[in-house]
Structure 1
Amino acid sequence: MSAMRRSVSEAFWAMCAADSMSMPVHWYYDINDIRRDFGGWISGFNSPPERHPSSILTLSNTAGSGRTNWSSGAKRANVVGSVILHDKLELWNSSSGSIHYHRGLQAGDNTLNILCSLRVARTLVSRGFVDVSQPDARAAVLSDYVHFLTTPGSHKDTYAESFHRSFFADWQESKPTSPHEVLKFAEERSGMKTSSPFPDCQLDAIGCLPMILPFILLSASANEERAVSAAVEFVKLTHPHPNVPEYVTIYSRALHAVLGGASVREQAEQALRRLDAWDACQSFSRKAAKFSVSSEERLKVHQSAVNYLGMACYNKGALSSLFYLAHEFHDDPKGGILANTNCGGENCNRGAALGALLGAGGAHTGKCIPQEWKDDLRDAQEFIPDILKDIV
């Protein structure tokens, strides 16, 4: 296996591992709840508990983006329960305020966003796209995405974040399904939403990264501009917000460089400088260095850093936290994935992108995630071997 192919492989595995590790404590904003619910800090894959201590699932808008009480104007038809998440509407409407976002998943399962990412990769390699930056590649991916999300029983997750709900709230008006039709719909929708004087802030979120990861990973041998273009042109269709392309570009350049053998630590520093977060991160890094690598005291510094930089989904803060952890764990994918999980907040999508970066770098240095983790990742075991066998 070539060094670059090994880097792509490890990026996929680490992406899935980081998402699955964080899934039971996704959006735990009080990190003490992690220790309480799991008898200590997370150290392996777990099923989600029945109760989520800070769930606001029942406040989420079942007809589109955001929260129910944010919607205005004419009432739109539900997408949850009718177009997507066909058997989950009861949970979204539950009188209980503690429904876990990922009820239905088990230890080693991946969330909906990572399932979508794996399907992106499988579509791109099975269709034989040599250049995944081309419109036909985006069209094929979007057509498969529509089929997957609108097919009852296609996955077990309970939650679909705002970008899914927004996409299908608009999609249900004409219901395009063929690659050409879905691409045309998505491009027209993107143009309207991006130019709106009031863009949807819920789309300027770290959940924009999972589905673009395969476009970068499968462009590892292409030049940087083509790889970045592949990611940016696709994300415009799922997250039509004027800020998103800049953030996706920052991340994509870093991942593409690491796939080619660049230092994770150096790429993280460059990204943090672009995000105006380098000075703050240096301060936390110096504090962390005072404690032993595996100590709880050091973990607490990382938790404080993520809390300061951004625990939530919004891109600037989430990316700052992501690259801080990448810098600190540049040579330790396993440690970085566990730290990300135990920092709480939006740790699934942040973790998936962090995992891809650390996995890609670890392949070049011989620091990979444990084989037992790979063995326990059910969805990854189903997808990744087929994806890799079709990569030249």
Structure 2
Amino acid sequence: MSHTTTQERAAGAIMGAFIGDALALGPHWYYDLAELRRDYGEWITTYTDPKPGRYHSGRKAGQLSQSGIVLTHMLRSLVENGRYDEADFCRRLDEQLFPLLDGTPMAGPGGYTCQSIRHAWRCRVEQKLPWGKTGGHADTTEAIERTLALAVRYAFQPAELAATVANNTHLTQIDDTVISMTVAYAAVLSMLVQGHALDAALSGKLMQLVKTGKLPFHAVTLGDLQPPRPGDPDPPRAGRFASPDALLTPSYMAQAAVDEDIRIEPAWKVSIVYGMPCAIYHQLPAVYYLAARFRDDFESAVLHAVNGGGQNQARASLTGALVGAQVGLAGIPQHFLDGLEDSELLINLAKSLAAQTDSAMTRN
């Protein structure tokens, strides 16, 4: 277990996500790595301006993308309500985000609006549909990028975590596999906020939560993934997700990160090994690998995530949250905090949420 405090880990997770998001603002979505190096040099080390005509054009170094802005809305809602209030969160999107969108990608706060948010905007603004009828089929990490705050808030309440993350994800994404992988990431982050290590044993701990019905995944195997014995009844279904395999990925990646016979060098090439695109099944293996390999080195983790190109913004934000939870807020280099726009405001929000997490731990 980590020697940092719960509040340090919780605040570190939130600030790690914001920092990762802002670090990739400039070099976001370069699939041609030679072009990325021409525009930003051999190694990106800090916040940068987006180039004219590219994604987020007009934003400045240290600012957040729209994903970071939506995460801020989620944080404010949690802090002001003391819990997840879906109606309040949806109201914030209706009143503070959607009026600034026009349904096109290269518009809106942050300089780019992702597929799932565009779909929700069309459902709400053009079609006048109620929330709950707004989800689409984007197979991306966009929901994780905001629900990671729910993972922090409900880190010691796995059933509430799974329910709130699944419900919030469903507002914009309705594919069950995407929802299950989103819930799985949240469960991993919650374990790190509790102080557990991202290692070969973590998935076993998560599977125990499945066995006791605290995480809503269906499992028929016994310990160590052994098959059921002849005559064993099919266990009662614990929840909506058909398979718990998304909970097994992090420990496999953690094992790969320390196996001397498996080397990804330099580590940024994890984006090539698992894929540069946006889809959740490309992103999460790379995120887990980097977060396990650099569990004590926040700077290396997020910079390798950014310098890998492609959808490096999600990769860096989700890696930043996992490593931020492992090193705590004090383990994040000060220059990343100093260079982040509205850093003091964001830190205060992160600390307020962390206090809620700590209070929930005490009650449980």
2:152 matched residue in structure 1? 217
Provide the residue aligned with 1:234 in structure 2.
Answer: 168
Instruction: Tell me, yes or no, if the aligned pair for 1:265 and 1:330 is still in contact at 8 Å.
Output: no
Quick one: distance in 2 between partners of 1:43 and 1:37? 13
| 1:251, distance to aligned residue in structure 2 (A) | 0.6
**Matched residue, 1:62:** none
Quick one: which of 241, 256, 259 aligns to 1:282?
Answer: 256
CA pair 284-29 structure 1, distance change in 2 beyond 3 A: farther
TM-score by length of 2: 0.76
Determine which of 59, 62, 66 is the counterpart of 1:108.
62
**What percent of counterpart residues are identical?**
22
Gaps of 5+ in 1: 51-98, 177-184, 194-199, 290-296
SS at 2:301 equivalent: helix
- Alignment partner, residue 345 of structure 2: 382
Separation in structure 2 between the aligned mates of residue 369 and residue 276 of structure 1, nearest angstrom: 22
Count of matched residue pairs: 307
Matched with 2:110 is: 157
Give how far 1:306 is off: 2.0
Contact residue 43 and residue 338 of structure 1 kept, 8 A: yes
- The 3 A distance-change label for structure 1 pair 351 and 284 is same
Measured in 2, the distance between the counterparts of 1:36 and 1:287 equals 33
Which of 129, 132, 137 is the equivalent residue of 1:187? 132
Return closer, same or farther for 1:285/1:345 CA change in 2, 3 Å cut-off: farther
Separation in 1, partners of 2:291, 2:43:
20
Hey, what's the Cα distance between the residues in 2 that align with 1:216 and 1:170?
27
2:320 is paired with a residue of what secondary structure?
Answer: helix
- CA distance in 2: counterparts of 1:268 and 1:207, whole angstroms: 24
* SS of residue matched to 1:24: coil
Q: Which residue of 2 is the match for residue 120 of structure 1? A: 74
Aligned pairs for 1:39-78 within 5 A:
39-50=41-52
Matching residue's letter, 1:348? Q
Q: Is it true that 1:358 corresponds to 2:304 in the alignment?
A: no
SS across alignment from 1:336: helix
Task: Note closer, same or farther for the CA distance 1:386–1:254 as it changes in structure 2 (3 Å cut).
Answer: closer
Residue equivalent to 2:192: 258
Q: Deviations over 1:92-133 (max 9, x none)?
A: xxxxxxx2111121111110011101110111111232xx3x
Contact 1:34 1:42 in 2 (8 A): no
For 2:5, the equivalent position in structure 1 comes to 3
Q: CA RMSD, aligned part only?
A: 2.9
Paired residue type of 2:98: T
TM-score, normalised with respect to structure 1: 0.71
User: Aligned residue for 1:371?
Assistant: 334
User: Does 2:261 correspond to 1:298?
Assistant: no
Distance 1:269 1:40, change over 3 A: farther
Instruction: Give the partner amino acid of 1:342.
Output: N
The answer as to whether partners of 1:115 and 1:379 remain within 8 angstroms in 2 is no
- Whether the 8 Å contact between 2:198 and 2:250 is mirrored in structure 1 is no
Correspondence for 2:233: none
Gaps of 5+ in 2: 102-106, 205-244, 357-364
**Cα distance in structure 2, aligned partners of 1:273 and 1:224:** 13
CA distance in structure 2 between the aligned counterparts of 1:311 and 1:110, rounded to whole angstroms: 21
Q: 1:215 to 1:273 in 2, by over 3 A?
A: closer
Alpha-carbon spacing, 1:13–1:264, altered in 2? closer, same or farther (3 Å): same
How many Å separate the matches in 1 of 2:68 and 2:114? 12
* Alignment correspondent of 2:218: none
Q: CA deviation at 1:369?
A: 1.5
**Paired position in structure 2 for 1:206:** 141
Q: Determine the structure 1 residue equivalent to 2:183.
A: 249
SS at match of 2:58: coil
